[in-house]
Amino acid sequence: MMFSRSCALAALAGASLVMSTPALAEPSPALDRFSFSVGAFHAEPTLDAGLNTPYGRFDTRDIEGSKVTMPRITADVLFGDSQGLSLDYYRFNRNYGTGFGNSFAVGPTSVTALGNVSLDLKLDFAKLAYKWWIGSGNTVLGLGAGLAYYRVSLDSNALAGVNGATASFSQHDSDDAFAPLLEVGVRHAISPDLRLFADVSGVRKGGSNLRGHIYNAALGVEWFPVKNVGVVLSYGVSEIELKRDFDALSSTARLRVKLQGPSAFLKARF
Protein backbone atom coordinates (compact mmCIF):
# COMPACT_ATOMS: atom_id res chain seq x y z
CA MET A 1 0.00 0.00 0.00
CA MET A 2 2.77 2.35 0.94
CA PHE A 3 4.62 1.39 -2.26
CA SER A 4 1.52 2.13 -4.39
CA ARG A 5 1.05 5.50 -2.70
CA SER A 6 4.72 6.40 -3.32
CA CYS A 7 4.40 5.46 -6.97
CA ALA A 8 1.29 7.60 -7.31
CA LEU A 9 3.00 10.58 -5.70
CA ALA A 10 6.03 10.15 -7.98
CA ALA A 11 3.80 9.99 -11.04
CA LEU A 12 1.99 13.16 -10.00
CA ALA A 13 5.27 14.94 -9.37
CA GLY A 14 6.59 13.89 -12.77
CA ALA A 15 3.43 15.05 -14.50
CA SER A 16 3.63 18.39 -12.72
CA LEU A 17 7.25 18.80 -13.82
CA VAL A 18 6.41 18.04 -17.44
CA MET A 19 3.49 20.45 -17.39
CA SER A 20 5.58 23.19 -15.82
CA THR A 21 8.40 22.86 -18.40
CA PRO A 22 7.80 25.44 -21.16
CA ALA A 23 7.50 24.08 -24.69
CA LEU A 24 9.95 25.20 -27.31
CA ALA A 25 8.65 28.32 -29.03
CA GLU A 26 7.61 28.02 -32.65
CA PRO A 27 9.55 30.12 -35.15
CA SER A 28 7.99 33.17 -36.74
CA PRO A 29 5.37 32.33 -39.42
CA ALA A 30 7.61 34.31 -41.78
CA LEU A 31 10.32 31.61 -41.48
CA ASP A 32 10.63 27.93 -42.37
CA ARG A 33 12.54 25.18 -40.60
CA PHE A 34 13.99 24.18 -43.96
CA SER A 35 13.38 25.39 -47.50
CA PHE A 36 14.89 24.73 -50.91
CA SER A 37 14.25 26.78 -54.06
CA VAL A 38 15.14 26.16 -57.70
CA GLY A 39 14.51 28.74 -60.36
CA ALA A 40 15.93 31.29 -62.75
CA PHE A 41 17.07 34.91 -62.78
CA HIS A 42 15.97 36.65 -66.01
CA ALA A 43 18.24 39.68 -66.21
CA GLU A 44 19.18 42.50 -68.53
CA PRO A 45 22.99 42.71 -68.31
CA THR A 46 25.30 45.65 -68.87
CA LEU A 47 29.00 44.86 -69.39
CA ASP A 48 32.06 47.08 -69.09
CA ALA A 49 35.41 45.31 -69.46
CA GLY A 50 38.96 46.58 -69.63
CA LEU A 51 42.09 44.51 -70.18
CA ASN A 52 45.63 44.76 -71.46
CA THR A 53 46.48 43.48 -74.94
CA PRO A 54 49.69 43.29 -76.99
CA TYR A 55 48.49 46.50 -78.68
CA GLY A 56 47.65 48.49 -75.56
CA ARG A 57 44.70 48.96 -73.30
CA PHE A 58 41.33 47.56 -74.47
CA ASP A 59 38.15 49.09 -72.97
CA THR A 60 34.66 48.17 -74.10
CA ARG A 61 32.81 50.89 -72.18
CA ASP A 62 29.16 50.00 -71.51
CA ILE A 63 27.66 47.24 -73.67
CA GLU A 64 23.98 46.47 -73.16
CA GLY A 65 23.32 42.92 -74.25
CA SER A 66 20.05 41.09 -74.76
CA LYS A 67 18.32 39.56 -71.76
CA VAL A 68 19.70 36.32 -70.36
CA THR A 69 18.21 33.64 -68.11
CA MET A 70 20.48 32.21 -65.40
CA PRO A 71 19.85 29.17 -63.18
CA ARG A 72 19.64 29.97 -59.49
CA ILE A 73 19.43 27.84 -56.32
CA THR A 74 18.71 28.98 -52.77
CA ALA A 75 18.31 27.11 -49.48
CA ASP A 76 17.64 28.06 -45.85
CA VAL A 77 17.77 26.01 -42.67
CA LEU A 78 16.75 27.15 -39.20
CA PHE A 79 18.48 25.98 -36.01
CA GLY A 80 16.26 26.50 -33.01
CA ASP A 81 13.92 29.42 -33.54
CA SER A 82 16.12 32.37 -34.48
CA GLN A 83 19.39 31.22 -36.07
CA GLY A 84 20.24 29.40 -39.25
CA LEU A 85 22.15 29.12 -42.51
CA SER A 86 21.39 30.60 -45.93
CA LEU A 87 22.80 29.44 -49.29
CA ASP A 88 22.56 31.14 -52.70
CA TYR A 89 24.13 30.21 -56.06
CA TYR A 90 23.83 31.52 -59.61
CA ARG A 91 25.86 31.41 -62.82
CA PHE A 92 26.06 34.11 -65.47
CA ASN A 93 27.24 32.98 -68.92
CA ARG A 94 27.08 35.41 -71.80
CA ASN A 95 28.75 35.84 -75.18
CA TYR A 96 28.94 39.35 -76.61
CA GLY A 97 29.42 38.80 -80.31
CA THR A 98 29.85 40.95 -83.39
CA GLY A 99 27.65 43.80 -84.42
CA PHE A 100 27.22 45.83 -81.26
CA GLY A 101 29.02 48.73 -82.95
CA ASN A 102 31.08 50.07 -80.06
CA SER A 103 34.18 52.19 -80.26
CA PHE A 104 37.13 51.15 -78.14
CA ALA A 105 40.15 52.85 -76.66
CA VAL A 106 43.43 51.08 -77.46
CA GLY A 107 46.08 53.02 -75.61
CA PRO A 108 45.65 56.73 -76.31
CA THR A 109 44.00 56.11 -79.70
CA SER A 110 40.28 55.73 -80.29
CA VAL A 111 39.52 52.90 -82.71
CA THR A 112 36.44 51.14 -83.99
CA ALA A 113 35.93 47.39 -83.98
CA LEU A 114 35.59 45.92 -87.46
CA GLY A 115 32.72 43.64 -86.51
CA ASN A 116 34.81 40.69 -85.34
CA VAL A 117 34.73 41.25 -81.60
CA SER A 118 33.77 38.45 -79.20
CA LEU A 119 33.71 38.57 -75.40
CA ASP A 120 32.74 35.30 -73.72
CA LEU A 121 32.08 35.89 -70.01
CA LYS A 122 31.39 33.28 -67.34
CA LEU A 123 30.74 34.19 -63.71
CA ASP A 124 29.94 31.77 -60.88
CA PHE A 125 28.80 33.21 -57.56
CA ALA A 126 27.94 31.32 -54.36
CA LYS A 127 27.43 32.52 -50.81
CA LEU A 128 26.90 30.83 -47.45
CA ALA A 129 25.80 32.97 -44.50
CA TYR A 130 24.99 32.37 -40.84
CA LYS A 131 21.84 34.33 -39.97
CA TRP A 132 20.34 35.58 -36.75
CA TRP A 133 16.64 36.46 -36.93
CA ILE A 134 15.35 39.14 -34.57
CA GLY A 135 11.66 39.00 -33.65
CA SER A 136 9.02 36.31 -33.24
CA GLY A 137 5.88 37.82 -34.73
CA ASN A 138 4.81 38.15 -38.34
CA THR A 139 7.79 40.41 -39.12
CA VAL A 140 11.41 39.50 -38.45
CA LEU A 141 14.74 41.14 -39.21
CA GLY A 142 17.69 38.99 -40.24
CA LEU A 143 21.39 39.83 -39.86
CA GLY A 144 23.90 37.57 -41.56
CA ALA A 145 27.64 37.11 -41.99
CA GLY A 146 29.45 34.51 -44.01
CA LEU A 147 31.64 33.69 -46.97
CA ALA A 148 31.23 34.20 -50.71
CA TYR A 149 33.00 32.43 -53.57
CA TYR A 150 33.22 33.83 -57.07
CA ARG A 151 34.95 32.67 -60.22
CA VAL A 152 35.20 34.74 -63.40
CA SER A 153 36.42 33.77 -66.85
CA LEU A 154 36.69 36.12 -69.85
CA ASP A 155 37.72 35.05 -73.36
CA SER A 156 38.45 37.99 -75.67
CA ASN A 157 38.86 37.85 -79.44
CA ALA A 158 38.95 40.99 -81.55
CA LEU A 159 39.92 42.47 -84.89
CA ALA A 160 40.33 46.25 -84.96
CA GLY A 161 41.64 48.96 -87.22
CA VAL A 162 44.46 50.96 -85.67
CA ASN A 163 45.83 53.89 -87.72
CA GLY A 164 44.89 52.22 -90.98
CA ALA A 165 46.40 48.87 -90.03
CA THR A 166 44.63 45.74 -88.88
CA ALA A 167 45.38 44.37 -85.42
CA SER A 168 43.94 41.26 -83.83
CA PHE A 169 44.31 39.52 -80.52
CA SER A 170 42.98 36.57 -78.56
CA GLN A 171 43.25 36.36 -74.78
CA HIS A 172 41.91 34.24 -71.89
CA ASP A 173 41.64 35.60 -68.33
CA SER A 174 40.37 33.53 -65.41
CA ASP A 175 40.57 33.66 -61.62
CA ASP A 176 38.58 32.93 -58.46
CA ALA A 177 38.50 34.12 -54.86
CA PHE A 178 36.79 33.89 -51.47
CA ALA A 179 35.55 37.03 -49.72
CA PRO A 180 33.66 38.00 -46.53
CA LEU A 181 29.92 38.57 -46.82
CA LEU A 182 27.36 40.66 -44.91
CA GLU A 183 23.57 40.37 -45.27
CA VAL A 184 20.43 42.11 -44.04
CA GLY A 185 16.96 40.72 -44.65
CA VAL A 186 13.33 41.33 -43.68
CA ARG A 187 10.51 38.75 -43.73
CA HIS A 188 6.80 39.51 -43.25
CA ALA A 189 3.99 36.96 -43.16
CA ILE A 190 0.65 38.32 -44.37
CA SER A 191 -0.67 34.81 -43.73
CA PRO A 192 1.02 31.41 -43.30
CA ASP A 193 0.81 30.96 -47.08
CA LEU A 194 1.56 34.50 -48.30
CA ARG A 195 4.78 36.28 -47.36
CA LEU A 196 6.90 39.25 -48.40
CA PHE A 197 10.68 39.57 -48.23
CA ALA A 198 13.54 41.98 -48.91
CA ASP A 199 17.25 41.16 -48.93
CA VAL A 200 20.49 43.13 -49.33
CA SER A 201 23.97 41.60 -49.31
CA GLY A 202 27.48 42.82 -49.98
CA VAL A 203 30.83 41.20 -50.73
CA ARG A 204 34.05 43.18 -50.73
CA LYS A 205 37.64 41.99 -51.05
CA GLY A 206 40.93 43.87 -51.23
CA GLY A 207 44.37 42.60 -52.11
CA SER A 208 46.56 42.44 -55.18
CA ASN A 209 44.90 39.54 -57.02
CA LEU A 210 41.21 39.22 -57.86
CA ARG A 211 39.51 41.93 -55.81
CA GLY A 212 36.45 44.14 -55.89
CA HIS A 213 32.85 44.05 -54.74
CA ILE A 214 29.57 42.29 -55.47
CA TYR A 215 26.30 43.80 -54.22
CA ASN A 216 22.90 42.09 -54.43
CA ALA A 217 19.41 43.36 -53.58
CA ALA A 218 16.02 41.70 -54.05
CA LEU A 219 12.36 42.33 -53.21
CA GLY A 220 9.74 39.64 -53.59
CA VAL A 221 6.70 37.62 -52.59
CA GLU A 222 6.14 33.95 -51.69
CA TRP A 223 2.82 32.16 -52.21
CA PHE A 224 2.07 28.58 -51.16
CA PRO A 225 -1.07 27.17 -52.83
CA VAL A 226 -0.35 23.92 -50.98
CA LYS A 227 1.25 23.56 -47.56
CA ASN A 228 4.78 22.53 -48.56
CA VAL A 229 5.16 23.76 -52.15
CA GLY A 230 4.95 27.30 -53.43
CA VAL A 231 6.20 29.84 -55.93
CA VAL A 232 8.51 32.79 -55.36
CA LEU A 233 8.56 35.91 -57.52
CA SER A 234 11.11 38.66 -57.00
CA TYR A 235 12.93 41.53 -58.66
CA GLY A 236 16.64 41.87 -58.07
CA VAL A 237 19.72 43.90 -58.91
CA SER A 238 23.32 42.66 -58.82
CA GLU A 239 26.32 44.93 -59.30
CA ILE A 240 29.69 43.28 -59.86
CA GLU A 241 33.03 45.06 -60.15
CA LEU A 242 36.22 43.01 -60.13
CA LYS A 243 39.86 43.87 -60.82
CA ARG A 244 42.97 41.79 -61.21
CA ASP A 245 46.66 42.77 -61.33
CA PHE A 246 48.92 40.87 -63.71
CA ASP A 247 52.47 42.11 -63.16
CA ALA A 248 54.70 44.54 -61.30
CA LEU A 249 53.89 47.26 -63.84
CA SER A 250 50.38 47.50 -62.36
CA SER A 251 48.64 46.34 -65.51
CA THR A 252 45.08 45.64 -64.39
CA ALA A 253 42.10 43.90 -65.93
CA ARG A 254 38.71 45.29 -64.94
CA LEU A 255 35.24 43.82 -65.21
CA ARG A 256 31.96 45.52 -64.40
CA VAL A 257 28.64 43.74 -64.80
CA LYS A 258 25.21 44.96 -63.76
CA LEU A 259 22.30 42.51 -63.74
CA GLN A 260 18.72 43.53 -63.08
CA GLY A 261 15.46 41.73 -63.65
CA PRO A 262 12.86 39.32 -62.26
CA SER A 263 13.40 35.88 -60.75
CA ALA A 264 10.97 32.97 -60.41
CA PHE A 265 11.42 29.93 -58.17
CA LEU A 266 9.65 26.75 -57.20
CA LYS A 267 10.05 26.45 -53.42
CA ALA A 268 9.66 23.47 -51.10
CA ARG A 269 9.42 24.05 -47.33
CA PHE A 270 9.36 21.72 -44.36
Domain with residue 119: its CATH number is: 2.40.128.90
For 224-251, strand residue ranges (E) read 229-245
- State which residues form the domain around 195: 2-269
Q: Is 2 helix (H, G, I), strand (E, B) or coil?
A: helix
- Residue 169: its pLDDT value, please? 67
Residue 174 above 80 pLDDT? yes
Residue 105 above 90 pLDDT? no
- Nearest 5°: the CA angle 111, 114, 118 is 100
Comparison of pLDDT for 81 and 12, the residue scoring more:
81
Mean pLDDT of 99-103: 47
Total domains present in the chain: 1
Comparison of pLDDT for 165 and 148, the residue scoring more:
148
Q: Confirm if 128 and 165 have CB atoms less than 8 A apart.
A: no
Residue 17 above 50 pLDDT? no
Q: Which long-range contacts (CB under 8 A, 24 or more apart) does 205-209 make?
A: 205/177, 205/178, 205/179, 205/180, 208/245, 209/175, 209/177, 209/244, 209/245
Q: How far apart are CA 74 and CA 265, in angstroms?
A: 9
